[in-house]
Each structure stands twice: as structure tokens, then as C-alpha cells.
Amino acid sequence: MRRIAAFVVVVACVFGGAVLVRGTSADDIAERARKLHFSSIVLDTHDDTTQRFFSKSGFDLGKRNPDGHVDIPRMREGGMNAIFFSIWIDGRIMGPPAVQKALDQIDAVHENVRRFAKDMAFARTAEEVRRAHAQGKIAALMGVEGGHMIGNDIRMVRIFGDLGVRYMTLSHFYNDEWADSSTDKPAHNGLTDYGKEIVREMNRRGIMVDISHVSDKTFYDALEVSKAPLIASHSSCRALCNHPRDMSDDMIKALAAKGGVIQINYEKSFIDQGYKDAYDRLTAGAGVVGVLSEAIKKCGDDVDCTSKAEVGIERQMTEEGKLPHVSWERIIDHINHAVKLVGAEHVGLGSDFDGANMPEGMEDCSKLPKITDALLRKGYSDKDIRNILGENTLRVMEQVERVSRDLQAQK
Ligand SMILES: [Zn+2]
């Protein structure tokens, strides 16, 4: 910013200040970015804030909280006006208890939206997201993070859909009964036949197929079976950070070729190779799963407590110099890499707020306008930025809705 301002002053001096200096000053860009950001639909496809509704230490979505990454005041400040609340439980819980816990969380999301109806509106379609935005409200959506949560029962796909769930991640950190995970030993060679039937049922019910967390083979299987575009609700680029949770360039190209969107995850170990390597060394190669297991032991079933413990462990390691500092600008690097690879129509935002370690400068959702500002300074067009901020995901939702209507009409 300062460099551009200095350049303008130099040019003005050389020409005696008498000539018109063409170009945009730093402040002009900042103002343009602000206007662009706050008039756009800013849709984040993955937030683990739902876990906080069950926190034993108290959490109020309507108030500014001293910790965590998301609440209504900070969403307003950051212009985040559409959010997918994640429905998630540990992937080792399966069968009926998994279904029960999913229903508890789905109910908690609906209750919170009702409680804060002045600020929020529940959305089931792209059109409803746009309507909420037009009314100045935050659109609340839901995604089920992990196929284990249907309790190996395809009927739950329909029931979750009826309750408003609009995407399902096919697995979480562990393989489920019908899909292999990227962070577990392969057990099914990707998707089983039942898994493929589940993907078809998701298509029929208008539920987006989310391939974050799944193994590469599961991704390619799902891509082949699905009649609608897929999303990666919260994954980054493996070319910049070699993590199994991220997508290879080939996968990103295949996803985009079918109309899908990769929503960039801000987690430090997914966006910065140096950080990931240091983190892996510290956790003896067990990575995310190892640290998570330790934290779970201490906190029992209070997931908000687990998250806080994780943040504490991570902060201490960084302060001690065991983990490197990571700047929020790595997020821009990942957006830029994916855009160069497949174009701005196939990239979006999937922060993983309240479920991941945020890089410095992106401490919570109030910092989101920095992304728009950075992309504008890189020369991105207003249209490309609006697409990345939310329009791409809305386009996929519309396509998924169309496929669902067509498939249901065939019966
Ligand atoms: Zn996740």
C-alpha cells in the first residue's frame, strides 16, 4: 500500500505536480475493496461453530465472544453473510449414536437461527441465500461432515435433506462403512457399491457431494458417479502444501472440469509446508489425528473444550519456536494457485473457522475483507472476486438443485 502511494508522490514531483497522475492510489483500492466486499455474498462453506452451541463453558452466537472465530457481531464486521454450519462428530462414533448426535446438532442450528431471526435466516437453496442477503440477513446453511453420521442407513440421507442439510462430506478422518478417508488406511478401494448408491441418492435429494477428507480414489469414484458438480468444502492445494487433506492439481482440474468448486481451507498445516513438516515432526508423524486424540482424552465429549485445548497446545508450540509463524497471505497463495490452474469460477472459501488453527492475520471471520483487498491488489476483476467470495458455490447449488429436480421428475 505504502509503495504505491510513494510512487504517486515521486511521479507528481518529477512532473512538477502539473500533470494528471493516472492510476489508482492505495486508498482508492482499499475503498473499492471495502465496497466490493460488503456488497457481495460472502459464503463460507465450512464452519465448526455448531460444536460451540454445546460448550459447557457457555457460548452465545449473538454476542462478541473473546475466543473462537465466528459469532454474529464478527460476521457482520467481516461481511460474512452466508455460512454452512458443520454437523460433525468424531468419525469413530458410528451407527445409531452417530445419527442421534447429528440430529442434536441439526436441531441446535435451527434453534439458533430461530433465536437470532433478526440477524439470520435459514437457507435451503441458492435463491434463499440471495433472499436473505437482500434482506440484510446472514444466510444459515448446514453440511454434514462425514458419511458415518447417516449410521450406514441411506434413508438418513433423505431425512437429513428434508431437515435442510445441503452437503455431505463422504468421510471424515476415518473410513466410514462405505467410503475411504484421506487420513486412514484404505479399506474399500474408494467408494463401495453402497457408497455409490448414497452419492446417487444425494444427487436425487439435492445434497451437494463434498469430497474434502476423502481418499483420492474415493474422490475419483464420486466424480464418476455423481450427476451434479462436486465441492471440496474445505481443502487447499497439495502443490503448495503436501497434505493428504489437500487436493492435487490433477484432482482440482478434474473437479473443475465437472463444474465443481474447491473452497480453500485456512488451516495452517494445510497451507504452509514448513508448518506442516514441523507439526508432523512434533506429533511423531501422526499429524492432525494424533494431536486430536490427545485433546479428546482430556475434554471428554465437550468438543469446544477439545478445540480450545488444541489451540492452546498449538499456541504454546509456536511461542516456544517449535512451530513456524504462518501468515494469512498463504490463503491468497492457495486461491491464486487454484485460479491459475482452473480459473476463478472454480474456487471459493471454506475457512474451517472454529475447527482449525488460523494463520496470523486471519484470527477470526472479522478479517475476511483482507482477502478481497488482496485479490483486488493482485489485479483480479470484481466479477472474479465475487465468484470466489460466494457466487461459485451458489452456482453449484443451483446446478445441484436442477439435477435433483430432473432426477425426481424421472420417477
Ligand atoms: Zn474437516
pLDDT digits (tens, 9 = 90+) for 371-397: 999 999 999 999 999 999 999 999 999
Lowest mean pLDDT among 66-80, 131-145, 293-307: 293-307
User: 121 or 319, which is more confident?
Assistant: 121
* pLDDT band, very low/low/confident/very high, at 411 (cuts 50, 70, 90): low
Please determine, for residue 304, whether its predicted confidence score (pLDDT) is greater than 90. Answer: no
Give pLDDT, residue 305: 83
Q: Give the angle subtended at the CA of 104 by the CAs of 358 and 408, to the nearest 5°.
A: 95
Ligand 1 centre to CA of 1 (Å) is: 35
Give pLDDT, residue 297: 75
Please determine, for residue 263, whether its predicted confidence score (pLDDT) is greater than 80. Answer: yes
Ligand 1 centre to CA of 377 (Å) is: 30
Ligand 1 centre to CA of 145 (Å) is: 7
Ligand 1 centre to CA of 2 (Å) is: 38
Ligand 1 centre to CA of 289 (Å) is: 11
Please determine, for residue 233, whether its predicted confidence score (pLDDT) is greater than 90. Answer: yes
Ligand 1 centre to CA of 385 (Å) is: 24
Q: Are strands 208-210 and 165-169 parallel, antiparallel or unpaired?
A: parallel
Counted residue by residue, the chain has a size of 411
Q: Give the angle subtended at the CA of 99 by the CAs of 164 and 206, to the nearest 5°.
A: 30
Three-state DSSP string of the chain: CHHHHHHHHHHHHHCCCCCCCCCCCHHHHHHHHHHHHHHCCCEEEEEHHHHHHHCCCCCCCCCCCCCCCCCHHHHHHHCCCEEEEEECCCCCCCCHHHHHHHHHHHHHHHHHHHHCCCCEEECCCHHHHHHHHHCCCEEEEEEEECHHHHCCCCHHHHHHHHCCEEEEECCCCCCCCCECECCCCCCCCCECHHHHHHHHHHHHHCCEEECCCECHHHHHHHHHHCCCCCEECCCCECCCCCCCCCECHHHHHHHHHCCCEEEECCCHHHHCHHHHHHHHHHCCCCHHHHHHHHHHHHHCCCHHHHHHHHHHHHHHHHHCCCCCCCECHHHHHHHHHHHHHHCHHHEEECCCECCCCCCECCCCHHHCHHHHHHHHHCCCCHHHHHHHHHHHHHHHHHHHHHHHHHHHHCC
Ligand 1 centre to CA of 314 (Å) is: 18
Ligand 1 centre to CA of 49 (Å) is: 12
Which bin fits 213, alpha (ψ -120 to 50), beta or left (φ > 0)? left
Ligand 1 centre to CA of 411 (Å) is: 35
Please determine, for residue 94, whether its predicted confidence score (pLDDT) is greater than 50. Answer: yes
Mean pLDDT, the chain, rounded, equals 91
- Kindly state the percentage of the chain with pLDDT values over 90: 81
Ligand 1 centre to CA of 84 (Å) is: 12
103: nearest Cα among 60, 50, 61, 52: 50
Contact 115, 62 (CB under 8 A): yes
Q: pTM value? A: 0.90
Q: Are strands 208-210 and 82-87 parallel, antiparallel or unpaired?
A: unpaired
Ligand 1 centre to CA of 88 (Å) is: 9
Mean pLDDT of 310-320: 84
Mean pLDDT of 64-91: 97
Ligand 1 centre to CA of 352 (Å) is: 7
Ligand 1 centre to CA of 172 (Å) is: 7
Ligand 1 centre to CA of 6 (Å) is: 43
* pLDDT band, very low/low/confident/very high, at 86 (cuts 50, 70, 90): very high
Please determine, for residue 172, whether its predicted confidence score (pLDDT) is greater than 70. Answer: yes
Mean pLDDT of 305-331: 88
Contact 61, 397 (CB under 8 A): no
* pLDDT band, very low/low/confident/very high, at 18 (cuts 50, 70, 90): very low
Ligand 1 centre to CA of 322 (Å) is: 24
Distance, in Å, from the CA atom of 259 to the CA atom of 396, rounded to the nearest integer, reads 7
Please determine, for residue 293, whether its predicted confidence score (pLDDT) is greater than 80. Answer: no
Please determine, for residue 141, whether its predicted confidence score (pLDDT) is greater than 50. Answer: yes
Ligand 1 centre to CA of 303 (Å) is: 14
Ligand 1 centre to CA of 267 (Å) is: 10
Ligand 1 centre to CA of 234 (Å) is: 7
In the structure grid, which three cell numbers stand for residue 18, read together? 502539473
Lowest mean pLDDT among 53-67, 107-121, 257-271, 299-313: 299-313
Give pLDDT, residue 4: 36
Lowest mean pLDDT among 143-157, 171-185, 281-295: 281-295
Write the CA distances from 398 to 260, 379, 395, integer angstroms: 12, 28, 5
Distance, in Å, from the CA atom of 244 to the CA atom of 236, rounded to the nearest integer, reads 10
* pLDDT band, very low/low/confident/very high, at 285 (cuts 50, 70, 90): low
Ligand 1 centre to CA of 410 (Å) is: 34
Mean pLDDT of 227-242: 98
Output the CA torsion sign for 144, 148, 154, 155: negative
Mean pLDDT of 157-177: 97
Ligand 1 centre to CA of 5 (Å) is: 41
* pLDDT band, very low/low/confident/very high, at 224 (cuts 50, 70, 90): very high
Please determine, for residue 20, whether its predicted confidence score (pLDDT) is greater than 50. Answer: no
Ligand 1 centre to CA of 351 (Å) is: 10
Ligand 1 centre to CA of 159 (Å) is: 22
Distance, in Å, from the CA atom of 250 to the CA atom of 328, rounded to the nearest integer, reads 25
What lies within 8 Å, CB to CB, of 303 at 6+ separation is: 51, 54
In the structure grid, which three cell numbers stand for residue 176, read together? 466410514
Mean pLDDT of 228-253: 98
Ligand 1 centre to CA of 257 (Å) is: 24
In the structure grid, which three cell numbers stand for residue 359, read together? 494463520
Lowest mean pLDDT among 47-61, 106-120, 123-137: 47-61
Ligand 1 centre to CA of 132 (Å) is: 26
Burial (CB count within 10 angstroms: exposed 0-12, middle 13-18, buried 19+), residue 409: exposed
Lowest mean pLDDT among 6-15, 129-138, 219-228, 262-271: 6-15
Give pLDDT, residue 12: 34
Give pLDDT, residue 286: 58
Distance, in Å, from the CA atom of 374 to the CA atom of 398, rounded to the nearest integer, reads 28
Ligand 1 centre to CA of 17 (Å) is: 55
Please determine, for residue 121, whether its predicted confidence score (pLDDT) is greater than 90. Answer: yes
